[in-house]
Amino acid sequence: MGSCYWVKLKVKLNNKAKAIKALQDKISRAKEENVNYGLESYVKHKNYNLNNFDDLIKIFLCEHQGDFEVETVENGFTKYSSGFEASYGWESLMIEMFKEISPYLEDRSKLYINCDDGWDEFVVADGKWYQTH
C-alpha cells in the first residue's frame, strides 16, 4: 500500500557537480537507508545516466511511471513535475533529497509535494532550505 503524489521541483543549480555527487551519495546509501530505487527492476530499462542531474531527478520523482515533465522556466530555472504512486516513506525520501542538494541550489529553488495526507513546500532562501508549509 502507498500514497499518490503530485510533485513539483523547481531548481537552479549553483554547483552542478556537487549536486550530482549529493544525489549519487544518497542513492549509494540505499541499502543502509532501506530504500529501493528500482535500479535493478522497474527503472532498469530506462538506462538512466547516474552522472546526469536530470536522470537522477527522474529516479527520485519516479519518472518511470509516465506522468513526468521537464521544462525550462524563467531565469534559468528548471521545473520538474511528476504524478506517481509510491510507498508512504517516499515523501520523506524526496524531502531528504531536497535537503541534500539545497546547498548547491540558487535561492527560490522549491520543492512542492502534494500527497494523500496533505501538502508540503520547501524553498531555498539565503542559501538555506526552509519548510514554508
Please provide the average confidence, as pLDDT, over all residues in the chain.
Answer: 93
Query: Is residue 114 over pLDDT 80?
Result: yes
* Band of residue 66 on the pLDDT scale cut at 50, 70, 90: confident
Identify the bridge partners of residue 121 per DSSP, sorted by sequence position.
112
Give kind and range of the element (H or E) at residue 58.
helix 53-60
Q: What is the pLDDT of residues 19-61, one digit of tens each?
A: 999 999 999 999 999 999 988 887 677 888 999 999 999 999 9
Closest CA to 132 of 60, 124, 11: 124
Q: What is the pLDDT of residues 88-113, one digit of tens each?
A: 999 999 999 999 999 999 999 999 99
Only one residue has cell 552522472, namely 51
d(CA 35, CA 58): 16
